[in-house]
Amino acid sequence: MIEALLEGLFLVFQWPAIGFLFLGVLLGIWLGAVPGLGGIIGLVLLLPFTFGMETVPAFALLLGMFAVTSTSDTIASVMLGIPGTAASQATILDGYPLAQQGKAARAFGAAFTVSAFGGVFGAIILAVSLPLILPIIKSFASPELFVLGMLGLAMVGSLSGGSILKGLSVACLGILLSTVGYGEAESIPRYHFETEYLLDNLPLIPVVLGLFAIPEIMELAIRNVSISRVPKDQTVGGGMLEGVKDVFRHWWLALRCAAIGTYVGMLPGLGAAIVDWVAYGHAVQSAKDKSQFGFGDIRGVIAPEAANNATRGGSLIPTVAFGIPGSLGTAILLGALLIQGLKPGPDMLTSELHITFSMVWTIVIANIVAAGLLMIWSKQVAKIAFLPGHLIVPGVIMFVFLGAWLGGAALGDWISCLTFGVVGFIMKRGGWPRPPLILALILGNIMENAFQISMGAHDGYGWLSRPVVLVVLVLIALTIFMSARGITKNKAAQKEVEADDPASKARQEAAEGGAKNPMISLPFSIFLFLFFVWAGVQAFGWPESVNEFPIIATAPGAIMVFAVLLFEAKEAAHEVKVQGGISSAYKIALEKAVAYRAVLFFGYLLAMIIVMLVLGQKFSIPLFIFLYLIRWGSYNWRVALGYAAGGWLMMVGFYDRTLDLLWYPSWLSNWLPELLPSWIPVWFFV
């Protein structure tokens, strides 16, 4: 084994493998950092180039890129509160508050150090536990995957925000939204409102970007603040070195979370999606002082970042050894393996072990290189936190809307992004946590599939008595119980702190799901309740094979939302009494939410979409950038024009020429090609 280990290392360091590895790392850093791109797009883009390559250089390129997207996606999570990928959702809970406190560099220092640490230790744990892998995989069939999905949702529902009922209701909403489109068992469309766009499932990327990015970007736009609410010269203990030290202070937590990442990552289907939440949950449950989680506790960054990098190695081995991919990314890697003429099987752990180890080494080296490069660059990136918000908004909006467009290249993608931007804004202002919705949307299809297979393979509900299922169900109950107890304790402690420290209340309100605004939350809970009831009634009219899962989501969802509704009604009644009437209560609530400017901002985004219909994106986005900087940012026309031109170059150079993005067929695109002289490329404009 040692010989294979060293031979694998030697193979990676050979030319051209090492060159391709560095190329992959650079691409991975870029793809992970830009919202809406990510490792899957990278794999799809790079795969055709590897067809004619030798095995080790091909995997150096693919794995080098894929391994580091979960390191660089931390940039969006920390700086913008946008989960760069599904595996970095938990990082936003504490990473973004740290950036708001002017400590983005500290968060980066911790995240990148622990990412390298997680990647390396994950690989070591993987190497020493090769004999355990098959028994672990064999003990997780469909019933176990279904309850594991439930555990993930219970964790995210309980841990994000100050209300378990709200968190779990939102998870039910996410499950319900995952059932939009053709059913899993039979191809009968659900909740598609007779639109073609919704026949397929609701696309994840536009929803994620709308739900997280737009509300956070709006915050910068409508309040005219920088990401950091604290001026640079007033930040204390926010340096990168401090973050590196944090990892060494919490080395035991990092090690445990790397192990969690490795083992959970092996589980086919959903390991990679829930791993950050399992690690985050573990960090919270095992901490003596839980009070700072959600408000910028560095352990809330260390835990998920250690785990999500370790997952890459964990999911690789079942793929190469047994042909069982743990995630969509590894499914594509499996394809690459077969195209290279290799077969997954015991040979990959015996005669071809050196190839397997070369892949593990690639992940290790890529993680270390990426962490080093990001450490160097992120000092500059962290400075963005102190830039005026108006300079950040147009660029991020461009990446957000192009990221949303990238997946389906349909008008519906932009409408989804904008719609979920509105939903995200209301949820943020009303104190409803958003991460459960996204995780449920990711897991919904997988869980429905696992549920139906479980019911079929085990002849009804017999699978509920399987040992692993019972253990996970107990874990779910414990998670909810412990979180409820933690929230109650924190609320009591918070009341005492607020009396002495008024800033504490503001910090509480800024945290995910922490806002208290019953005048906004109440109408949203009424809407959700009616939505659940309507969805349930619709589902009863469908065949059993497609209505089981929507009903599973709507029934508990409606009950929990009703409980929230009663609570919020009481709070709203109190607010109305205090403010001396319903109209003054609403006036104050809307002022608190800066609702007028928010509507105006949404108007700008809507206008950008309308202009796209006529002129196309290559005009509408630069126009938005230009007008925003002039009207909102009060910048001079030179800056606005330069920025807009930069945005246009990015669209043409990267999205059009490199990614081959299919642009919207605008009215202009129908006749402009005929008018242009042949020496001017049409793709400059449409």
Partner 1 sequence: MKFYKSFLYTMGLLGVLSIMGISQSKAGFYDGKDVTVIINAGAGGGLTRTGRLFTTHMKKHLGKGANMVIKNVAGAGGVKGMNYMAEKAKPNGLTVLWGTSQQMAQLLKLPGVRFNLSKIAVIGAGGSSYLSIARSDFKPGIKQASDLLKVKKMIVGGRGTSDGLGIFARLPLDVLGVNYRYVPGYRGQPKLNAAIRAKEIGLLTTGGIGYIVFYKDTILKSGEAKALYYHSALGADGKFSDPGIYPKDVKHFLEYYKDTHGGKSPTGPLWEAYKWFSKFNSRPFGIYARKDNSPTHIAELRAAFRKTLSDPAFIAAWTKMVRSAPDFGVGKEVSWLLTDFDKISPGALAGMKKLTARKKKKKGGKKK
Please list every residue from 551 through 580 that binds partner 1, using CB under 8 A: none
475 vs 154: CA distance, rounded Å = 10
**Least distance in angstroms from the C-beta of 682 to partner 1:** 8
Site string for partner 1, 457-496 (x = CB under 8 A): x-xxx-----------------------------------
**Least distance in angstroms from the C-beta of 532 to partner 1:** 23
**Least distance in angstroms from the C-beta of 23 to partner 1:** 16
Q: What is the DSSP string of 351-377?
A: TTHHHHHHHHHHHHHHHHHHHHHHHHH
Q: What is the CA radius of gyration of the chain?
A: 25
Task: Please pick, from the candidates 223, 232, 383, 577, the single residue that binds partner 1 as defined by CB under 8 A.
Answer: 383
Q: Which is nearer to partner 1, 109 or 326 (CB)?
A: 326
412 binds partner 1 (CB under 8 A): no
The one-letter amino acid at 336? A
SS (H, E, C) 72-90: HCHHHHHHHCCCCCHHHHH
386 vs 58: CA distance, rounded Å = 40
411 binds partner 1 (CB under 8 A): no
Q: Which is nearer to partner 1, 372 or 681 (CB)?
A: 681
Task: Please pick, from the candidates 10, 22, 182, 251, the single residue that binds partner 1 as defined by CB under 8 A.
Answer: 182
Give the residue among 590, 601, 533 at the shortest CA–CA distance from 565.
533
Region for 323 from its dihedrals, namely left if φ exceeds 0, alpha if ψ lies in -120 to 50, beta otherwise: left
Q: Which is nearer to partner 1, 540 or 684 (CB)?
A: 684
11-30 residues in contact with partner 1 (CB under 8 A) are none
Q: What angle do CA 497, 500, 504 make, to 5 degrees?
A: 55
121-150 residues in contact with partner 1 (CB under 8 A) are 134, 137-142
**Least distance in angstroms from the C-beta of 179 to partner 1:** 12
Q: Which is nearer to partner 1, 111 or 455 (CB)?
A: 455
Give the residue among 76, 62, 2, 63 at the shortest CA–CA distance from 32.
76
1 binds partner 1 (CB under 8 A): no
246-305 residues in contact with partner 1 (CB under 8 A) are 268
> Who contacts 367 (Cβ-Cβ below 8 Å, separation ≥6)?
67, 68, 71, 115, 116, 118, 119, 120, 309
What's the full length of the chain, in residues?
686
Task: Please pick, from the candidates 658, 667, 670, 680, the single residue that binds partner 1 as defined by CB under 8 A.
Answer: 658
Point out which span in 19-27, 114-122, 417-425, 537-545 binds partner 1 (CB under 8 A). Answer: 537-545
Task: Please pick, from the candidates 75, 650, 666, 686, the single residue that binds partner 1 as defined by CB under 8 A.
Answer: 650
Task: Please pick, from the candidates 28, 119, 183, 536, the single residue that binds partner 1 as defined by CB under 8 A.
Answer: 183
190: helix, coil or strand? strand
Backbone angles phi, psi at 182, to 5 degrees: -55, 140
**Least distance in angstroms from the C-beta of 510 to partner 1:** 26
**Least distance in angstroms from the C-beta of 323 to partner 1:** 5
**Least distance in angstroms from the C-beta of 330 to partner 1:** 8
Task: Please pick, from the candidates 54, 200, 498, 571, the single residue that binds partner 1 as defined by CB under 8 A.
Answer: 200
**Least distance in angstroms from the C-beta of 47 to partner 1:** 7
215 binds partner 1 (CB under 8 A): no
Q: Which is nearer to partner 1, 331 or 526 (CB)?
A: 331
Contact between 549 and 448 under an 8 Å Cβ cutoff? The reply is yes
Task: Please pick, from the candidates 367, 452, 479, 494, the single residue that binds partner 1 as defined by CB under 8 A.
Answer: 452
Q: Which is nearer to partner 1, 395 or 523 (CB)?
A: 395
83-102 residues in contact with partner 1 (CB under 8 A) are none
408 vs 650: CA distance, rounded Å = 20
**Helix ranges restricted to H, 512-616:** 518-540, 544-579, 582-592, 595-615
Contact between 107 and 298 under an 8 Å Cβ cutoff? The reply is yes
Site string for partner 1, 342-361 (x = CB under 8 A): -xxxxx--------------
**Least distance in angstroms from the C-beta of 512 to partner 1:** 28
**Least distance in angstroms from the C-beta of 50 to partner 1:** 10
Task: Please pick, from the candidates 1, 338, 566, 680, the single residue that binds partner 1 as defined by CB under 8 A.
Answer: 338
Contact between 412 and 143 under an 8 Å Cβ cutoff? The reply is no
- The count of chain residues that interact with partner 1, using the rule CB under 8 A, is 76
Continuous segment of H or E residues that includes residue 182: strand 181-182
565 vs 389: CA distance, rounded Å = 35
Mutual angle of helices 299-322 and 130-138, in 10-degree steps: 90
Task: Please pick, from the candidates 23, 130, 185, 569, the single residue that binds partner 1 as defined by CB under 8 A.
Answer: 185
**Neighbouring C-beta atoms of residue 306, cutoff 10 Å:** 35
> Who contacts 324 (Cβ-Cβ below 8 Å, separation ≥6)?
137, 268, 318, 344
Contact between 371 and 112 under an 8 Å Cβ cutoff? The reply is yes
376 binds partner 1 (CB under 8 A): no
Task: Please pick, from the candidates 193, 194, 196, 675, the single residue that binds partner 1 as defined by CB under 8 A.
Answer: 196
613-642 residues in contact with partner 1 (CB under 8 A) are 642
Q: Which is nearer to partner 1, 469 or 511 (CB)?
A: 469
Task: Please pick, from the candidates 231, 657, 667, 670, the single residue that binds partner 1 as defined by CB under 8 A.
Answer: 657
**Least distance in angstroms from the C-beta of 409 to partner 1:** 9
- The structure tokens 């067929």 sit at 665
Backbone angles phi, psi at 684, to 5 degrees: -65, -30
42-71 residues in contact with partner 1 (CB under 8 A) are 44, 47-48, 51-52
Q: Which is nearer to partner 1, 149 or 157 (CB)?
A: 149
Q: Given the DSSP bridges, would you call strands 181-182 and 189-190 parallel, antiparallel or unpaired?
A: antiparallel
